[in-house]
Structure 1
Amino acid sequence: MASEQSRTRVFSAPRRVQVDEHASSLQAIALACCGLAGVDAAVVLLGWAINEPGLERVAPGLAVMRFNTAVCLLALAVAFAIPRRAAAGRAVATIGAGVAGVLAGLQLAEWAFGIGLGVDQLVVTDPGSGPHPGRSSAAVATCVLLLAAASLTTGRRRAWRRTRQALLLAPAAVAWLALVGYAYDAQSLTNLGSFFTIALHTALAIVLLSIAGLASTRRGRLEWVLFSEDAGGALSRRLAPMALVGLPFIGLACLAAHRLSWINDVTMVALTVVLCTLAFGAATWTAATRVARLDNARRATLADLTQLKQGLELQVAARAEQLRSRHDEIAVLEDRQRIAADIHDVVIQRLFAAGMFLHGTPTSEAIVQERIGSAIESMDAAIRDLRNSIFELGGNQSRVLDLATAVDDICTDAARVLGFRPDVLVDDPDREADTVRDDLLAVVRESLSNVARHASASSVDVVLRTGHGLISLTVTDDGTGMTSTPHSSGTRNMAERARRRGGDCVWTTVEPHGTRVWWHVPGTPSDLVLEPAADDIADDVADDPAPDELADEPADEPELDADAASAGLGR
């Protein structure tokens, strides 16, 4: 559980925050190392300035840090410690590294060519013995030159970082060898003549400056060893302390036991080997355990990601299947709507136009009139069946949303027979008339058919209004007017449609000539119900027989007479 929480914290933390924390820690390490190396060099320079030999060496009998060496190490400490974000910082760092590099290069040239360039005792006089007083050893000058070159190598490319780290590790290895020689009192590792003589505090300062340079290298090996979460970083953090501190300490302890005559030479060597093996084995076991935990965490995370991936794939597959199924359904619906639109726009309109044409056919023969009526009723039945089919196919949905357009389309079709287009006014802001849509459209068609057959009108007004609890449709023409009570199957159907919904349909004469049809049914309940706009309709309704009274007349009376008498019926 703890490992899962740790992994959660690592994965959830923003990468920029982690990088900033690492950079600040590495910068602190670099500053600390530069500070110690700088203090070391400054103390030596002070000893040379006041001529105090005790400050020039760590202990009597040990090697002395030369004045030029102290100057170079102090300049390198400044170069590695100074921030390089600003131009001034970069300039100071370049000057410090340049001074150290020039001094070290001149001294190496003196050793290489056997010449004296006058830089050994340029500032102070070195009273020490030796063939070249004041001159740093070749090993120290080489280490300083490598450190200066590393300080000047600041490219961000991977090859530059590798070069910089190689330049830093070489002097660190030489200085570490000298430190081990001092720890084991092995003069062969610390004093090999004038070419390889390194003072104790010189070796320590070189190691500190190498660490500072490695710490200031962004995305370098030291950062990877200290902060990496992978198996390599974990293994390095477990083995590096044992290799750098543990094994030298074991060797030093065995050497001390030999010097105290507790063990002989052979026993010392055997004991050193055994203890180093045990220590290194323990460190390896600890590192392997840590790596195993990291690997188990990686495997658990990979398993979780695999499971999550499989779940997402299943969801995507299911969603894709739903989309394909939906796409097929949409394709079917589009085909149905297209077929329904073709039926409505072509077939139904042609049937309606044919019916209107038959309505307007003048004839006085009863048999012909009867056959024409039968044909018209068959066409009406066919139109109703087609409209039901359109509704079932889904093609009438868009038209159901717009009753005004449907009325306007009917009037446009009627213009082919009337010879003019009726004027249309639809006042239905709350879409109340949609509840009686089919009845309204049928009444409009029948009223316009009657006008075309009998009225000989030159204008027709179609008005649909809703409100105050009433749905009102009026069709007014300026034709010949009513000559008798309307009595036909069409007018009976109009009245029946109104009565089925609790309303009524009345016909009145308009002065000076013409006919008005008022078809009305109850709408949304309201406290106030208004009559139609024309006041003469209400006055004439009381004198005219209602359609329900006409339904009781003898059935054997020809419908043609009633139709002929109802010239110019309107809505």
Structure 2
Amino acid sequence: MPLYWRIFLLNGVVLLAATALLLGPVTVSTPVLLTEAAVLTGGLAAMLVANALLLRVGLAPLERLTRAMTTTDLLRPGRRPAVSGHAEIAELITAFHTMLDRLEEERATSSARALSAQEAERHRISQELHDEVGQTLTAVLLELKRVAGDAPPAVREELGQVQETTRGSLEEIRRIARRLRPGVLAELGLTAALKSLTTEFTHPGLSVRHHLDPDLPPLGRDTELVLYRVAQEGLTNTARHARARHAELTLRHTASGVELRVHDDGGGIGAAPEGAGIRGMRERALLIGARLSLEPCPGGGTDVRLTVPDRNS
């Protein structure tokens, strides 16, 4: 039973016992006059109502703290309960805020380490795919070309098909390596990397357009990487799950900072739980103090927004 009702019922029992005594052996008149009974009953009702209101006001901060404890998500920082109430309750809410600060700081530190290790591992795998697997497939292509030159016409045709399959596998390996390590981001900058990303995801079933603001403020290396990864994950979800025909990637400079938006006309997010990709986007957003929102669009589709606040504002 909640604390409010336990205290209220306990007080009610005491008041009922006092009233019963007044109406029984301890009374003003014997027998009890109707007016006296009415006065005592009205007084009891007034005391119960006053007691309920006082308890409700006194325990309201605890109820707000309970709701905050049950709904707090470290990946979605929101409003915290205000420090109010008497000394013990105010101290409890303050301790809860201190605990949240510590948990958010520890999670940000651990997430930064994990994402840094993830980027390093992506770089290593990309390098191995490019240097080892890519070179091996290139050597296989050259050998197939040499063998096909000396083979009979019937075998030459079959070798040509094997060459095309190998060439397709080599292109796929290079595409995966580019996704794991966006070299264009480090070499040509964020705008060029996002343009390349939209081109990569455009295919006969999906058209991806971009609107990139040329007047962007200076962004740090970590911020550019987060913007790129969020755009990459948003377009990946669109291509794999949304069943969309059109998508737009927008990067613009607003009064509050830099806003990245990925919008599609697919089936929307629905009631499906968030997967590892979306939670990864939220963790990356927290690393740079950005705000991430995923919302369904009124006309269908999903709208992903990442807002990076302007450090100078």
Q: TM-score range by the shorter chain?
A: 0.3 to 0.5
TM-score, normalised on structure 2? Answer: 0.41
Relative contact order, CA 8 A, sep 6+: which one is greater?
2
**Higher strand content, 1 or 2:** 2
TM-score, normalised on structure 1? Answer: 0.24
